[in-house]
């Protein structure tokens, strides 16, 4: 826990403030509705479920105000590029998607409380219409049957069908639509569906439009009603609540007048909605800009490299873009990490067929492996971005550890290319002094398309006398008997039999305890950035390693973990 607080101070404070505000809004709303004179008669019928319904509604408004901000990518990128954005603040912005998910879970929690409380409210409204309910409880339910009386109980007769009454009301219809949209959005956002059925995730997330429209309209039903301010001035509550038989018969106790709460949700969400509308306009404008595909290359393991140009496009190492292919889908946008360096005259992405969309894109771009189409035959592409990510912080540390699994190597391609360009120019100074690079692959073909880059970088660093700058470790996690025999025969070769590099390939999975201990021993008083892109299972292990091998002494070594997320 101490490691997390030390390395993620800004994140920790943000979480504390967010949870604190949720707690404050919830408890203060409950206290107010439990004590407000204007809701005394409402509490007689509904009890504490009134306060719980209103408190959860207020927290829903608060979190719905926040939910769009982390996914306003241009706004987040603007903050990331500002001068006041320190290292801790950048790490906080790197967790924008995580924060977006947490807010979503909080919305789901308060939605469940809100729905549960209103189910109890409807049942109590219904029961109060029983003739033998008796006393003030019964008297309040019959207010509104005479002229010039406003009702408190929206259910006017005991024989009313509650389910039907709920469905036909504005609050009931919008509540059902909001809940259904929220359930679909959350269930389709699970890691399994997002990876295997990205289209389902993409389309259901567009239900957020329906969600916010329903949210703004929902309060207009004014189901929860309280005594009006004017009524409280003439209706002596302290006396009249015990003399309800005198209501309307004496000047001291006129019939209480009730009204519903005016809709409030729009006041909470109007600014984020305007911000997000501007975000969507910017994305739409970018999608219409011309993108020229300059080259398409097929690599082993079903990896397709697309090189492009776009007027005014500038990038930094580690950034990512969203790519659309109208001939595949008019609506879908998919994130891809840029694999080119800022110094190159183009920008590129590497695409692997992991779903219907990526397979269709590869089919559209290349009919047969290793056969290039003419440029005029290539499909039109639209690009949105670039946007910053966790990997852009690699150059902000003196020592960085970059770890990739499979196609997760793509963010580090851009980083390593930038290192190569920097090493070519001795006059360009970098804060970064040491890079540890780990890449885990299941088969030898995955190494082939990336080995050329490592080989060029290795030769350039050797010429500059900076071989110690980059320490890379390649791990082959799957092999067959033929490969084992071939590797054994060439074991004593100067260059690695698989990659052709000076550094030999390791077989099996790394011993992360050994690797982190070695890095910590070599840099006993440095802040070390650890950057990972790959499956979540390994992410948890690496995060634990960072926690385990970070010193409790502020002057000791500290590992700062960041995972690539879109």
Q: Express each pLDDT in 485-536 by its tens digit.
A: 545 544 555 555 555 555 666 777 888 888 888 888 888 888 888 888 887 7
User: Does the residue 194 lie in any domain?
Assistant: no
What CATH code is carried by the domain that includes residue 536?
3.40.50.80
Burial 222-244 (b: 16+ CB within 10 A, else e): ebbbbbeeebbeebebeebbeeb
Co-location of 328 and 457 in the same domain: no
Number of domains in the chain: 3
Segment (H or E) for 400: strand 399-405
- Order of strands across the sheet with 334-337? 334-337, 320-324, 382-387
pLDDT confidence bin for 47, thresholds 50/70/90? confident
Structure confidence at residue 526 (pLDDT): 81
322-326, 378-382, 562-566: the lowest-pLDDT one? 562-566
Co-location of 371 and 513 in the same domain: no
Nearest to 313 by CA among 356, 363, 347: 347
Q: How far apart are CA 153 and CA 225, in angstroms?
A: 8
Average pLDDT score over residue span 456-473: 72
Co-location of 399 and 486 in the same domain: yes
Structure confidence at residue 212 (pLDDT): 93
Q: What is the dihedral of CA 66, 67, 71, 72, to 10 degrees?
A: -40
Co-location of 62 and 136 in the same domain: yes
173-177, 546-550, 555-559, 562-566: the lowest-pLDDT one? 562-566
Single residue among 347, 371, 387 that ends a domain in this structure:
387
pLDDT in tens, 391-448: 777 888 888 888 888 777 777 878 878 877 776 666 666 778 888 888 887 766 666 6
Nearest to 211 by CA among 177, 260, 163, 165: 177
User: Does the residue 217 lie in any domain?
Assistant: no
20-34, 80-94, 338-352, 419-433: the lowest-pLDDT one? 80-94
User: Does the residue 215 lie in any domain?
Assistant: no
DSSP string, 369-386: TT-PPPGGGSPP-EEEEE
Structure confidence at residue 370 (pLDDT): 44
Co-location of 360 and 376 in the same domain: yes
Single residue among 356, 387, 418 that ends a domain in this structure:
387
Structure confidence at residue 371 (pLDDT): 46
Co-location of 490 and 365 in the same domain: no
Which residue range forms the structural domain that includes residue 228? 2-169+223-280
Single residue among 367, 387, 407 that ends a domain in this structure:
387
Average pLDDT score over residue span 472-488: 63
Q: Kindly provide the residue ranges of all beta strands, DSSP E only, lying in 200-328, ordered along the sequence.
A: 225-227, 258-260, 291-299, 303-310, 320-324
Residue 225 has pLDDT above 50, yes or no: yes
User: Does the residue 195 lie in any domain?
Assistant: no
Co-location of 260 and 408 in the same domain: no
User: Does the residue 182 lie in any domain?
Assistant: no
User: Does the residue 323 lie in any domain?
Assistant: yes
Co-location of 151 and 241 in the same domain: yes
Co-location of 276 and 296 in the same domain: no
User: Does the residue 55 lie in any domain?
Assistant: yes
Co-location of 528 and 554 in the same domain: yes
Q: How far apart are CA 453 and CA 435, in angstroms?
A: 15
pTM for this entry: 0.79
What CATH code is carried by the domain that includes residue 347?
2.40.30.10
User: Does the residue 198 lie in any domain?
Assistant: no
Segment (H or E) for 128: none
Co-location of 255 and 274 in the same domain: yes
- Order of strands across the sheet with 527-533? 506-507, 470-476, 434-441, 399-405, 527-533, 558-563
**Regarding beta strands 399-405 and 434-441, do their DSSP bridges make them parallel or antiparallel, or are they unpaired?**
parallel
Co-location of 148 and 273 in the same domain: yes
């Amino acid at each position: 826990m101490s490691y997390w607080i030390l390395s993620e101070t800004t994140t920790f404070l943000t979480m504390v403030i967010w949870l604190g505000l949720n707690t404050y809004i919830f408890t203060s709303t409950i206290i107010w509705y439990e004590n407000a004179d204007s809701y005394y008669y409402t509490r007689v019928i509904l009890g504490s479920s009134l306060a719980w319904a209103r408190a959860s509604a207020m927290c829903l408004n608060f979190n719905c105000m926040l939910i769009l901000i982390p996914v306003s990518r241009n706004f987040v990128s603007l903050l990331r590029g500002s001068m006041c954005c320190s290292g801790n603040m950048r790490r906080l912005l790197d967790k924008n998607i995580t924060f977006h998910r947490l807010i979503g879970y909080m919305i789901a929690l308060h939605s469940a409380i809100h729905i549960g409380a209103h189910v109890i409210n409807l049942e109590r409204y219904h029961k109060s219409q029983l003739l033998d309910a008796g006393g003030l409880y019964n008297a309040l339910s019959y207010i509104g049957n005479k002229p010039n009386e406003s009702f408190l109980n929206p259910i006017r007769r005991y024989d009313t069908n509650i389910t039907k009454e709920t469905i036909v009301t504005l609050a009931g219809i919008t509540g059902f639509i909001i809940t259904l949209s929220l359930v679909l959005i959350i269930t389709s956002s699970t890691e399994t569906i997002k990876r295997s059925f990205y289209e389902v995730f993409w389309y259901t997330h567009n239900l957020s439009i329906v969600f916010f429209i329903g949210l703004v309209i929902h309060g207009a039903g004014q189901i929860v009603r309280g005594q009006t301010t004017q009524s409280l001035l003439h209706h002596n509550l302290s006396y009249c609540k015990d003399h309800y038989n005198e209501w309307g018969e004496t000047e001291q106790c006129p019939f209480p007048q009730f009204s519903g709460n005016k809709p409030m949700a729009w006041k909470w969400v109007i600014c984020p909605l305007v911000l997000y509308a501007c975000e969507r306009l910017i994305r739409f404008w970018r999608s219409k800009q011309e993108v020229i595909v300059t080259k398409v290359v097929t690599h082993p393991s079903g990896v397709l490299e697309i090189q492009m140009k776009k007027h005014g496009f500038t990038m930094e190492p580690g950034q990512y873009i969203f790519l659309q292919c109208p001939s595949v889908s008019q609506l879908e946008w998919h994130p891809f990490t840029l694999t080119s360096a800022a110094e190159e005259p183009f920008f590129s992405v590497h695409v692997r067929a992991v779903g219907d969309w990526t397979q269709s894109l590869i089919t559209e771009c290349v009919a047969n492996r290793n056969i290039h189409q003419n440029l005029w035959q290539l499909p039109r592409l639209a690009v949105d971005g670039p946007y910053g990510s966790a990997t852009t912080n690699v150059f902000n540390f003196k020592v960085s550890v970059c770890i990739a699994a499979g196609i997760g190597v793509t963010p580090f391609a851009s980083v390593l290319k930038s290192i190569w360009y920097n090493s070519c120019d001795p006059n360009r100074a970098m804060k970064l002094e040491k890079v540890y690079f780990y890449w885990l692959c299941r088969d030898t073909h995955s190494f082939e398309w990336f080995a050329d880059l490592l080989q060029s970088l290795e030769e350039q660093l050797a010429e500059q006398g900076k071989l110690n700058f980059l320490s890379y470790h390649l791990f082959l996690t799957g092999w067959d008997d033929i490969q084992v025999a071939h590797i054994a025969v060439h074991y004593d070769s100067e260059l690695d039999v698989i990659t052709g590099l000076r550094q030999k390939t390791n077989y099996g999975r790394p011993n992360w305890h050994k690797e982190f201990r070695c890095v910590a021993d070599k840099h006993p008083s440095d802040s070390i950035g650890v950057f990972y892109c790959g499956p979540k299972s390994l992410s948890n292990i690496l995060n634990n390693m960072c926690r385990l091998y970070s010193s409790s002494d502020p002057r000791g070594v500290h590992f700062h973990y960041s995972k690539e997320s879109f």
